[in-house]
Structure 1
Amino acid sequence: MTSHKDYIVIDGKKIGSAYKPYIIAELSANHNGDLTAALATIEAAAQAGADAIKIQTYTPETMTIKSDKEDFQVRGGLWDGYQLYDLYEWAHTPFEWHEALFKKAKEVGITLFSTPFDETAVELLESLQTPAYKIASFEMTDLPLIKRVAQTGKPMIISTGMANVSEIEEAIATAKSNGCNDLVVLHCISAYPAPYDQANLATIADISERFDVLSGLSDHTLGTVASVSAIALGACLIEKHFILDRNLKGPDSEFSIEPDELARLVTETQAAHQAIGHAGYERKPAEESSIKFRRSIYFVKDLAKGEEISTEHIRRIRPGYGLAPKYFEQLIGKKVNKTIERGSPVSWQDIDGHEL
């Protein structure tokens, strides 16, 4: 049994296994450098029913340096051939946009928060009164950054892509020892897209048990199957990259979902959460109307008062208004105490000498 808090609260919404799944639409680089597109994406996320939309707060300079050295070139994968600086130049969300993005989110009724990548990003987000922070998988080992974010006292979400057990332990310990009391740790596979056969969703429950925290999923697989499955495995929060239209292309477009998919994700994760329920064998209200279609024992021939019941007189058939089938053999040889009409359900009141 874990002893962690049953839920955390972000912007007035409770997040935990007892509550509907908290869905974060990750805007990331899907604005393609266009503020209008960023604002439209925020609105679309709200319309699709997401609880939050998340941005990323960095500049190319806070991520890396401009260099032609081999270390700074991307080889293989989705961004093959890019220099790191140029990739971040393409993908970043300018600091000067942030105020407008927060304002738009408030207007359309969706929570907005961000992933900071260095201390200057934290200062900006604090000035805009962000309600929470996300630590990206690639920054999970940046303990000074985690320390600074934890010191704000705001809820934190930490992704664990690529991390081993000791690295996750260090990140959680750093967050908790520096003032973070509200924490969700996300299972994550840092591959874009992540293959289903490596998704390892069973890790979600293990994170919760092993590290005594709430757990969720940062999902980079294609589609929504992994996210919906994650709810059944204990995820209380799902993060998914979101774009207005994959045809717009961009750094993250290939593994992002569109508005109709996000709406379906919201609906299906809620349905999965409802369907889990609790272990129990009591008859459910929805089953009550089906009881009459069980088999029971019926008279299938007319009988005169005092006549002895044989196997020709009774059968186990539907509907279920007669005695239960388990009494069939017990009835053979008994006498009826009144005239019986074919098609009548068998009742102990019909049987001679039976004590009710």
Structure 2
Amino acid sequence: MSTYIIAEAGVNHNGSLELAKKLVDKAKEAGADCIKFQTFVTKNITTKSASQAEYQEKNTKKKESQYEMLSKLELSFQDFHELNEYCKEKEIEFLSTGFDFDSIDFLDELGMSTWKIPSGDITNLPYLVKIAKLNKPVILSTGMSTMDDIQAALHALKENGAGPITVLHCTTEYPAPYEEVNLAAMKTIEKEFQVPVGYSDHTKGIEIPIAAVAMGATVIEKHFTLDRSMEGPDHKASLEPSELKEMVSSIRNVEVAIGNSEKKPASSEEKNMKIARKSIVANHSIRKGEIFTEENLTVKRPGSGVSPMKWFDIIGEKANRNYEEDELIEW
């Protein structure tokens, strides 16, 4: 099954519809299945006194409140309506995380088919119930979560009518340190809760999402930006368009390489078997009726004769004809 790749634009449009459309273009060019934004009404999701996260203050180089920062990154519902239509035109799926009830209602009216729950709302029960009652497929991010947190969120979603749920392992730091990624936890989630799993990546580079696919991730989410040097909280931990394209291409290569569980010679290998393998040959001239021994036989390429796996079956037998040195033994 093909990995579903979400190009996470988030708020990397810096509050500009024009930049948001350029991000759609780049996500499509990169081969992503989907582009995801963040829809919110600032006054609905943060108090005016809530402070920035450490990484936000570091990346924006501004000491301001969450309210001040997010107000500058907010797109209107009309903007998102236009973005949804633009995505249809470009033939890439539109997805946006609704961070508040007004935004959820708007995105529902927009006809969004899948709902992405951010890590920060995994313990927000009214929010989980609101999403679940839409009866649509859900992708649940689990940054900062314990297994108990995930279990409680899954229970709330399932009890209130959510559609199929995919759980994404995630480390909520921007960028996330490699030593804190703990990709093995993704498999723990899969085994414990019997759900499809994926990975939402905040590390630098593309190695970790590729590794996640090799480990069985069905969904990959990765932040990207037009330019990492732009001002804003998430640009520094995002891929640039060329890197996003490389990640998508690498994931598709890994998918093909995973193949199936059957071990057998590949079609491309078959022509090399006679060349690379060996056969039992005469180590020196052997006369008809002479006994085959470990001294007068040896093993050499090509592999078109008797397999060396028959070595001990042939030792002690009589030569059925004369052989010259290096001649393939017939038996």
Are residues 1:37 and 2:15 paired? no
Are residues 1:28 and 2:28 paired? no
Matching residue of 1:200:
182
Q: Which runs of 5+ in 2 are unaligned?
A: none
Of residues 120, 127, 142, the one that matches 2:109 is 127
Sort the Cα spacing of 1:283 and 1:75 in 2 relative to 1 into closer, same or farther, 3 A.
closer
Matching residue of 1:55:
37
**Cα offset, 1:329, TM superposition:** 4.9
Contact 2:229 2:236 in 1 (8 A): no
**Cα offset, 1:159, TM superposition:** 0.7
Matching residue of 1:266:
248
Matching residue of 1:78:
56
- SS at the partner of 1:247? coil
Sort the Cα spacing of 1:75 and 1:107 in 2 relative to 1 into closer, same or farther, 3 A.
closer
Question: Once the two structures are aligned, what percentage of the paired residues are identical?
Answer: 37
Matches within 5 A, 1:1-356: 19-67=1-49, 72-74=50-52, 76-80=54-58, 81-292=63-274, 293-311=276-294, 313-332=296-315, 334-348=317-331
Distance 1:193 1:24 in 2: 18
Distance 1:179 1:37 in 2: 36
Distance 2:328 2:227 in 1: 62
- Letter matched to residue 345 of structure 1: L
- SS at the partner of 2:229? helix
Contact 1:28 1:91 in 2 (8 A): no
Deviations 1:301-356 (A, max 9, x none): 344444444555432111112222244455455433334344321111xxxxxxxx
Q: Which runs of 5+ in 1 are unaligned?
A: 1-18, 349-356
Distance 1:26 1:88 in 2: 17
- Letter matched to residue 246 of structure 1: R
Contact 1:114 1:132 in 2 (8 A): no
**Cα offset, 1:132, TM superposition:** 1.2
Contact 1:48 1:260 in 2 (8 A): yes
Deviations 1:107-134 (A, max 9, x none): 1110011101111001111121111111
Distance 1:331 1:28 in 2: 70
Distance 2:47 2:263 in 1: 62
Distance 2:88 2:178 in 1: 36
- Letter matched to residue 315 of structure 1: T
C-alpha root-mean-square deviation of aligned residues, in Å?
A: 1.9
Matching residue of 1:16:
none
- Letter matched to residue 131 of structure 1: S
Sort the Cα spacing of 1:332 and 1:156 in 2 relative to 1 into closer, same or farther, 3 A.
closer
Distance 1:75 1:158 in 2: 22
Distance 1:129 1:319 in 2: 64
Matching residue of 1:4:
none
- Letter matched to residue 202 of structure 2: H
Contact 1:63 1:88 in 2 (8 A): no
**Cα offset, 1:300, TM superposition:** 4.2
**Cα offset, 1:77, TM superposition:** 2.7
- SS at the partner of 2:10? coil
Distance 1:300 1:245 in 2: 67
TM-score norm. by structure 1 comes to 0.86
